[in-house]
A and B are shown apart, each in its own frame.
Chain A
Amino acid sequence: MSIIEVINLKKYFKEIKAVDDISFSVNEGEIFAFLGPNGAGKSTTIKMLTTLLKPTNGKIIVNSFDTEKQSNEVRHSFGIVFQDYSLDDELTAYENMEFHGSLYRVPKKIRHKRIEQLLNIVELWDRKDYLVKTFSGGMKRRLEIARGLLHHPKIFFLDEPTIGLDPQTRNHIWDYIQKLNKEEKITILLTTHYMEEAEKVANRVAIIDHGKIVILGTVEELNQKANTNSLENAFLHFTGYNLREESTNGIDRMRMRHNHKIKR
């Protein structure tokens, strides 16, 4: 049974076809990886799946709800770890969790119990009263994962969750996500640039390029079609060797300037 159904989805930004007529479905309980070069349309698709962006055309059904007409029901159905950090630095780990729990209307008693559970799982319980700005990148990621699960979503979106993390943390995070998928039957849709990670955890893989799905199937199927022995080679086979340009928006530009200033 499919829990996500994407039908003829399009997103145009003026002339640019960021997502150009894609259709696919994700089965309940599976780990589905969305791969593609920079600027291929992965994040745009995730933004539309999570109701943050309106499609130009097409239809998305998440957990049997329409993302445009029943966005609140859709929002209740998923948890998400965004590509960029999305925590409030000026709040503590616990307060970030509390904020999320209140927004999702998790009843107080259950909320406190779950926050303790989840923070213990991601090994941040002893740091719960520290401001998030004192956390390392890996700790922030773990906190975001815990936060995304607080309202017990049926679907978990992970947009490059391990970018910039050390191998230890990456390993730890994927092990936990796999465990979550097995034990809680949560459907997982992820994007990553680390092919070996996708190879390790994903049941099925879709490769997207220039806004279109180039190929979709299990890792074995992709390797067979490309006549390669690793997902990395298959990926290069399907998407070519050319470097990609990614257009930046104002916020990215500002962030770049900001980081630049800090470095100086």
Chain B
Amino acid sequence: MNTIYILWLRQVKRYLRSKSRMIGSLSQPILFLVALGYGLGPTFQRAGEGNYIQFLAPGVIAMSVLFSAIFSGMDIIWDKQFGFLKETLAAPISRFEIMIGRTLGGATTSIFQGILVLLISLLLGFKISSFSLLFTAFIFIFMIAVLFTALGTSIASVLEDMQGFQLIMNFLVMPTFFLSGALFPLDGLPKSIEIISKINPLSYGVDGLRGALTGLYQFTFTTDLITLLIITFILFLIGSYLFSKIQV
């Protein structure tokens, strides 16, 4: 327990100390909210879909959690580079404990990030429909965070250096975000896009989060929750397995 706590604490301390990184990663969500939210708002309204900021804000919160979670999982590559991973791997603790500590740490910082974006979107005109469901929203933020931290860890375990980073960004992270229903409703789409968005785990995270914050579900609460739980569990196992295979 203590070992998991100290691994968690390290991630959180590093996050709180890198103010520039924290602020830097807020600029993108703000840009999305302002440029898309205000820019596409009137068109969205004319199409009869209602207030776009209301629709967009949960998607942008999910986006910032997604990015921050994937990157914190991929931090392992930096730990490899700066040698710190060896210190952790030579210690008498199981790889599984390291995986849990790191994932919880990464998830915690991603949740901070998500809450910051939630606060910003409130300033930009987003309205939460019921505060009693805020807790449900946190559950979904937590699940998105754990899921993608585990994915980031899996990727980092097989990558040797940051060379592949752009590739991951362009072919995995961006499509995951754009095809998740974060920016547009998932109904009436071409078949191929619909299929992709249905197998995209983030779709369920965005939907659950949007449902909790605004009451608007595309799927259902239960579908979102169960799908996320299953995928998170599977990715966590894959991540643990790949992490246990790391040799430095």
Which residues of A sit under 8 angstroms from B2, Cβ to Cβ? Answer: 102, 105
In chain B, positions 85-107 with a C-beta closer than 8 Å to chain A are 86-94
> Do A254 and B91 touch across chains, with their CB atoms under 8 A apart?
no
In chain A, positions 32-59 with a C-beta closer than 8 Å to chain B are 47, 50-54
> Do B161 and A104 touch across chains, with their CB atoms under 8 A apart?
no
Residue A127 is within 8 A (CB to CB) of chain B in the complex:
no
| A253 CA / B162 CA spacing, docked (Å) | 11
Which residues of A sit under 8 angstroms from B93, Cβ to Cβ? Answer: 72, 103
> Do B3 and A87 touch across chains, with their CB atoms under 8 A apart?
no
Stretch among B76-84, B121-129, B173-181 lining the A interface: B76-84
> Do B247 and A86 touch across chains, with their CB atoms under 8 A apart?
no
Determine how close the nearest CB of chain A comes to the CB of B89; give it in whole angstroms. 6
Stretch among B10-18, B190-198, B200-208, B235-243 lining the A interface: B10-18
Residue B248 is within 8 A (CB to CB) of chain A in the complex:
yes
| A86 CA / B83 CA spacing, docked (Å) | 4
| A253 CA / B160 CA spacing, docked (Å) | 10
Interface string of A238-264 (1 = CB under 8 A from B): 000000000001110111001000000
> Do B160 and A104 touch across chains, with their CB atoms under 8 A apart?
no
Residue A82 is within 8 A (CB to CB) of chain B in the complex:
yes
> Do A99 and B10 touch across chains, with their CB atoms under 8 A apart?
yes
Residue A90 is within 8 A (CB to CB) of chain B in the complex:
yes
Q: Known contacts being A90-B18, A102-B3, is A52 close to B90, with CB within 8 Å?
A: yes
Determine how close the nearest CB of chain A comes to the CB of B167; give it in whole angstroms. 14
Which residues of A sit under 8 angstroms from B18, Cβ to Cβ? Answer: 90
Interface string of A102-122 (1 = CB under 8 A from B): 111100000000000000000
21 pairs, CB–CB < 8 Å, chain A vs chain B: A47-B247, A51-B90, A75-B91, A75-B92, A80-B90, A82-B87, A85-B82, A86-B87, A87-B83, A90-B17, A90-B18, A91-B10, A91-B13, A95-B10, A100-B91, A103-B91, A147-B87, A249-B160, A251-B161, A254-B162, A258-B81
- CB-CB nearest 5 A-B residue pairs: A250-B160, A86-B83, A75-B92, A102-B6, A254-B161
Give chain B's interface residues, CB within 8 Å of chain A. Answer: 2-3, 5-6, 10, 13-14, 17-18, 80-84, 86-94, 160-163, 247-248
